[in-house]
Amino acid sequence: MKICEKCGTLMILQKEDNKLYFVCKKCKIKIEMKKSNCILKQTIKKQKPLILKNNENIEQLPKTKKKCEKCGNNEVYWWSRQTRASDEPETRFYRCTKCRQTWREYS
């Protein structure tokens, strides 16, 4: 992406004569794309979701301050999942770092 220096509009890429140009649709400015203004593309691998089985990997979860109603401890692990329709908010799960009590909250 490149922003037009004259009007601030997002410029588009256009190919002419086997060359690439940034073109502003508003002011019609055309700038040849060179290595110095080249866009880099980076692919990020998706991580597999962390699946909790019998408290395995629980220490890898983030922690937050929240009171456990069972033991009164003030630190819990937390994670979230989409358990309802996609247009509804995620469900947040909490697990006490001391007694391992697990509960959920809905928005």
More confident: 52 or 40: 52
Give me the pLDDT at residue 87, please: 82
**Residue at 21 is within a domain:** yes
When pLDDT is averaged across residues 35-43 and rounded to a whole number, the result is 57
Which pLDDT does position 41 carry in this prediction?
57
Domain count, the chain: 2
pLDDT at residue 43 greater than cutoff 80: no
27-56: string of b/e by CB count within 10 Å (b at 16+)?
eebeeebeeeeeeeeeeeeeeeeeebeeee
CATH of the domain at 88: 2.20.25.10
Residue 48 lies in a domain: no
In a domain, 45, yes or no: no
Residue 79 lies in a domain: yes
Give the per-residue pLDDT at 75: 95
Q: Is 87 a catalytic residue?
A: yes
The residue annotated as part of the active site, out of 69, 87, 90, 105, is: 87
- Confirm whether 31 is domain-assigned: yes
Together in a domain, 32 and 66: no
Average pLDDT over residues 60-67: 90
Structural domain including 32 reads 2-37
Please give the pLDDT value at position 37: 53
Among 56, 88, 90, 105, which one carries the catalytic annotation? 88
The yes-or-no answer on residue 88 being catalytic is yes
